[in-house]
């Protein structure tokens, strides 16, 4: 198929070349030669050897008339003086065409479109501008430095003048020049013994230091932290107790009294917060009274069976007990003691933490409260603790502090004196 297409293209090309000669013989039918070129006739039509001259000139293609065009003269762009080249070099260059302007060409201003048709038009020349150097900071500060130096010189001259006047005045009136000592840093030494341990304070002195270092904007609590012997870490040796502080703990305790009749009136007069009989029991049983707001419960012996049967599980540790004096007929004394009563016990590390009043108390009141606590701590000493005397082998260290202040150790001798004084006051 490709070979046939090639032969057809060659035949067509041959027919097109011979059509120019035959076109004159058949002016009326311009496309008959294409049909006859593919015919099988052996006698081709011969062109007329003497065709009419007029018809031949008429059918012959006329050449296009070319009109001469004159281009404008290439303008000479003036270069700067620093970049001008000698005129001799421009004239000696054979590649530059400088046609002579015609006489009939009018001189006129060149527009942008005219310049676009000029051959070898030289673009705008390269213009070099002088370099601009930015001033350095040193250049700017030269004048300022000079002014500052002049100002310093004037100040020095004025200072020397004033010093000379003062010197003359001292000589005339015989005034000695004051000698100011060189400032030195004074290091405050903490009072420590030769072994590097803190000094153990007396009880009264320790209370004064606690009150001095209590700087918070609320009334802080004076706390006591007692580190007991190592043997008291045993779980079988329990240490719990309670005491009534002579001047109170400064904390408002809520006391509930289970009593009726005259005992109830006596409890209200003593300052009990909740007083009642069966109605109080029913309120706790139904949940109308919040047990978490009660710190101490006191009851008369007549209501104990009903309390143990109905609300003992809810009261739990607050259940009145004859051993700690919460089941009694002397309601007034029990309420007053409960308001001042505090409880203490040791933790797993054999340390007792207890609050013994407010920092706003007087020093004597705080010392008496501490003496009462030490006496109760001695009474609560476990019987199974061996190899111990009154204090040795039982109390290792005793520290007191405020809620947000530092702690101060207290000597065992001063604690023993405070406990003995409290015992004598109780015996009176």
Range in 45-49, 348-352, 401-405 with the lowest mean pLDDT: 45-49
Q: Kind and range of the H or E element at 173?
A: helix 137-173
* Average pLDDT of span 244-264: 86
The burial class, CB within 10 Å (0-12 / 13-18 / 19+), for 406 is: exposed
Calculate ∠ Cα 384-398-223, nearest 5°: 110
**pLDDT above 50 for 265:** yes
Strands (E), 346-425: 351-358, 395-401, 407-409
Strands (E), 271-403: 274-276, 296-299, 341-345, 351-358, 395-401
* Average pLDDT of span 43-68: 57
* Average pLDDT of span 280-300: 87
Output phi, psi for 382, to 5 deg.
-65, 145
Residues 6+ apart with CB under 8 A from 265: none
* Average pLDDT of span 124-131: 67
CA–CA separation, 374 and 379 (whole Å): 9
Read off the pLDDT of residues 199-252 as tens digits, 9 standing for 90 and up: 889 999 999 999 999 888 888 999 999 998 888 888 878 888 888 888 888 887
**pLDDT above 60 for 323:** yes
pLDDT of residue 353: 93
* Average pLDDT of span 38-59: 50
pLDDT of residue 375: 92
- 120-151 burial, b for 16+ CB within 10 Å, e for fewer? eeeeeeeeeeeeeeeeeeeeeeeeeeeeeeee
CA–CA separation, 84 and 79 (whole Å): 5
More reliable by pLDDT, 159 or 22: 159
Mean model confidence pLDDT for the chain: 76
Q: Report the percent of the chain where pLDDT is more than 90.
A: 18
CA–CA separation, 163 and 157 (whole Å): 10
- Is 210 within 8 Å of 356 (Cβ atoms)? no
Read off the pLDDT of residues 149-163 as tens digits, 9 standing for 90 and up: 888 888 899 999 998
- Is 90 within 8 Å of 42 (Cβ atoms)? no
pLDDT band for position 193 (50/70/90)? low
Query: All domains of the chain, ordered by start, with CATH?
Result: 197-239+346-428 (3.30.190.20), 252-340 (3.40.50.790)
pLDDT of residue 248: 81
CA–CA separation, 209 and 260 (whole Å): 49
């Amino acid at each position: 198929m490709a070979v046939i297409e090639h032969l057809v293209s060659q035949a067509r090309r041959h027919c097109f070349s011979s059509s120019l000669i035959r076109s004159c013989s058949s002016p009326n039918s311009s496309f008959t030669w294409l049909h006859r070129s593919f015919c099988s006739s052996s006698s081709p039509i011969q062109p007329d050897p003497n065709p009419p001259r007029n018809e031949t000139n008429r059918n012959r293609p006329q050449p296009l008339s070319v009109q001469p065009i004159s281009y404008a003269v290439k303008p000479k762009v003036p270069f700067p003086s620093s970049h001008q080249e000698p005129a001799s070099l421009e004239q000696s260059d054979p590649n530059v065409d400088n046609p002579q302007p015609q006489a009939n060409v009018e001189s006129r201003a060149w527009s942008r479109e005219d310049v676009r048709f000029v051959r070898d038009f030289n673009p705008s020349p390269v213009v070099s501008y002088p370099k601009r150097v930015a001033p350095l900071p040193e250049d700017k500060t030269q004048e300022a430095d000079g002014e500052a130096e002049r100002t310093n010189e004037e100040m020095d001259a004025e200072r020397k003048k004033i010093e000379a006047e003062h010197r003359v005045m001292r000589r005339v009136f015989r005034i000695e020049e004051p000698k100011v000592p060189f400032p030195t840093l004074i290091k405050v030494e903490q009072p420590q013994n030769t072994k590097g341990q803190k000094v153990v304070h007396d009880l009264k002195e320790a209370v004064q230091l606690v009150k001095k270092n209590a700087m918070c904007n609320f009334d802080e609590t004076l706390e006591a932290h007692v580190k007991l012997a190592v043997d008291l870490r045993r779980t079988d040796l329990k240490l719990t107790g309670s005491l009534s502080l002579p001047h109170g703990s400064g904390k408002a305790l809520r006391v509930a009294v289970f009593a009726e009749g005259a005992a109830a009136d006596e409890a209200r007069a003593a300052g009990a917060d909740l007083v009642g009989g069966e109605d109080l029991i029913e309120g706790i049983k139904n949940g109308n009274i919040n047990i978490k707001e009660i710190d101490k419960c006191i009851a008369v012996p007549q209501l104990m069976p009903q309390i143990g049967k109905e609300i003992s599980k809810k009261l739990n540790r607050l259940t009145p007990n004859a051993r700690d004096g919460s089941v009694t007929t002397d309601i007034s004394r029990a309420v007053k003691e409960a308001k001042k009563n505090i409880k203490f016990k040791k933790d797993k590390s054999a340390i007792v933490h207890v609050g013994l009043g407010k920092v706003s108390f007087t020093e004597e009141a705080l010392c008496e409260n501490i003496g009462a606590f030490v006496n109760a701590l001695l009474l609560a000493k476990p019987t199974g603790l061996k190899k111990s005397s009154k204090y040795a082998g039982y109390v290792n260290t005793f520290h007191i502090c405020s809620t947000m202040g530092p702690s101060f150790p207290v000597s065992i001798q001063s604690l023993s004196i405070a406990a003995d004084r409290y015992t004598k006051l109780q015996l009176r």
